Amino acid sequence: MTSTDVTRTEETDVHPRSPEGPSPYAWRWAALFVILGAELMDLLDSTITTVAGPRIESALGGTYSQLQWMSAAYTLAFAMLLITGARLGDLFGRRRMFLIGTAAFAATSLLCGLATSPETLIAYRALQGVAAAMMVPQGLGLLRDMFPPRELAAAFGVFGPIMGLGAVAGPILGGFLVDADLFGTGWRAIFFVNVPIGIAAFLAATRLLPADRPTDARRRVVTLDPIGIVLLSAGMVLIILPLVQGRESGWPTWTFACMAASLPVFAMFAAHEVRRRRRGTATLVELSLFRNKAFTSSLVVGLMFFSTMVAFMLIVTVYLQAGLGWSATDAAVALIPFSLGCTVGAGLSGGLLAPKFGRHVLHAGLIVQILGVLALAYTIDHDPSGVSGWALTPALAVAGTGFGLIMAPFFDIAIAGVTFTETGSASGILNAVQQLGGAVGIAVFGTLFFGYADDASTPRAGFTDGITNSLVVMAAVLAATWFAAFLMPKRAREEDVPAAH
């Protein structure tokens, strides 16, 4: 450790906390972009394999089912271990787990790029998901440690553009890397690209993230709760697996049986956690979180909202390519207005509106997004044969602006009342709900969208009917989310109420 590191650790290690929150961390804004870099790696890796699938199949062989599992293995491992990964951050230190996760993500990305068969690629993708589950959930906890409450909304406001950029950039980057065949690597470049990014993020994190608080080594071992980890992981597998595989498989009986079986497994997990709490033993999930109205209501809103956000990007991207015959690059370029709208909305929300108006900004964002979604449906429906990127621009920009407005007040309200000891659990649960919402959205809206596409007399008519009807249903879900948002507190903190003049 250098003298600079020693000084920085002495100044920022403990983060003396006042009733208003932690003292501001001097390197917090630079550290924020390190955390966002990790989020972006995860978002890219969730979508980047979509356009490379046919090339991977042709190079490695394998069945169509194995091709599906190259994406599903990552999603499943990631969702299954998110809450456990967040808890490990509480016990072993968030900075330490972030560094371990980032290094493991870069290493497993290299292994994916070196895979020689479908089976090994699927295994390495699962390991990559495990690494992401160690890395990603540390972000919210680190932000909570580094930023004073008054700046949290602004910090969360940056998440909107990053998530929009990740959703759009994945297919663009994947298509470019595959077509460019850099150094003869072909499809392998989509994984190799993570290696330098991961190394850069790791090195930056060692310099910029705050040092962890000391934790008693014996307490770490006692509170690992292996039974809770097994029960929670099993429950997540039983609900996520059928959602990920169900639509492609035609929703066979086993998918519904798995989802039904997840309920008693989650009940067993809850009973196990209650018993541990009664014995005075630390739990995998902080049960006190579920007495926090702001947090529990945010879970409901988040599940509904993220189901529409992830599905929106899926069906629009597929419509532009399969329905209109555009290339992956052309489709991604057409979605740039959405990302720009995200940036504008997030900038307005995080920096100006959310700290002052709280939940009202979330409600306004949902209304703007509903208008954008309906405008997109109208534009496509009234010009199904010759719709252009320019014609789609206004609706996509409006929808993106609404999405950007939502992110800052949502996360700010969700974690405002969370204590330091609850932060890891809260982060893991919020990330798990985000993944679950995305899986539900893809399952429901994907089934609706492709159902119309498969039943139509012509492919273009089918895709047009599929996207317009899906967007109308999506607007209805967003409207229900608008009503559900009334369950959330008006503001993240009572002191955010504007002073009377």
Residue 218, pLDDT above cutoff 50:
no
Give the predicted TM-score (pTM) of the model: 0.79
Phi/psi of residue 419, nearest 5 degrees: -80, 170
For the chain, percent of residues with pLDDT exceeding 70: 84
Helix or strand or coil: residue 21?
Answer: strand
Residue 402: per-residue pLDDT: 93
Task: Spell out the residues 6+ positions from residue 475 whose beta carbon is closer than 8 angstroms to its own.
Answer: 370, 373, 374, 377
How many residues in total does the chain contain? 501
Q: What is the mean pLDDT of residues 244-268?
A: 90
Q: What is the mean pLDDT of residues 129-138?
A: 92
Residue 11, pLDDT above cutoff 50:
no
Q: Count H helices, E strands: the chain?
A: 22, 2
The amino acid at 152: L
Residues 49-80 as b or e (16 or more Cβ within 10 Å = b)? bbbbbebbbeebebeeebbbbbbbbbbbbbbb
Distance of alpha carbon 209 from alpha carbon 9, whole angstroms: 10
Distance of alpha carbon 266 from alpha carbon 281, whole angstroms: 19
Write 163-166 long-range contacts (CB < 8 A, 24+): 163/39, 163/43, 163/309, 163/342, 163/407, 164/338, 164/339, 164/341, 164/342, 164/343, 164/400, 164/403, 164/404, 165/40, 165/339, 165/342, 166/39, 166/40, 166/42, 166/43, 166/44, 166/46, 166/47
Phi/psi of residue 21, nearest 5 degrees: 125, -170
Residue 73, pLDDT above cutoff 50:
yes
Write 490-497 long-range contacts (CB < 8 A, 24+): 490/358, 490/359, 490/360, 491/358, 491/359, 491/413, 492/149, 492/152, 492/153, 492/294, 492/358, 492/409, 492/412, 492/413, 492/416, 493/149, 493/416, 495/20, 496/355, 496/356, 496/358
The alpha helices in 211-252, defined as continuous H runs, are 217-222, 226-249
| Burial class of residue 4, CB neighbours in 10 A (0-12, 13-18, 19+) | exposed
The per-residue pLDDT of the chain, averaged, comes to 82
Residue 5: per-residue pLDDT: 42
Residue 224, pLDDT above cutoff 90:
no
Residue 17: per-residue pLDDT: 42
Distance of alpha carbon 315 from alpha carbon 310, whole angstroms: 9
Angle, alpha carbons 455-326-61 (nearest 5°): 75
For the chain, percent of residues with pLDDT exceeding 90: 27
pLDDT digits (tens, 9 = 90+) for 137-154: 898 888 888 888 778 777
Please give the structure tokens belonging to residue 55: 């090339």
pLDDT digits (tens, 9 = 90+) for 90-131: 888 889 999 999 999 999 999 999 998 989 999 999 999 999
Of 25-29, 177-181, 220-224, 466-470, highest mean pLDDT:
466-470
Residue 382, pLDDT above cutoff 90:
no
Residue 98: per-residue pLDDT: 94
Please give the structure tokens belonging to residue 454: 């498969």
pLDDT digits (tens, 9 = 90+) for 284-310: 888 888 888 888 999 999 999 989 988
pLDDT tier at 364 (50, 70, 90 boundaries)? very high
Residue 398: per-residue pLDDT: 96
Residue 497, pLDDT above cutoff 80:
no
**Which of 427, 9, 3, 424 has the alpha carbon at shortest distance from 208?**
9
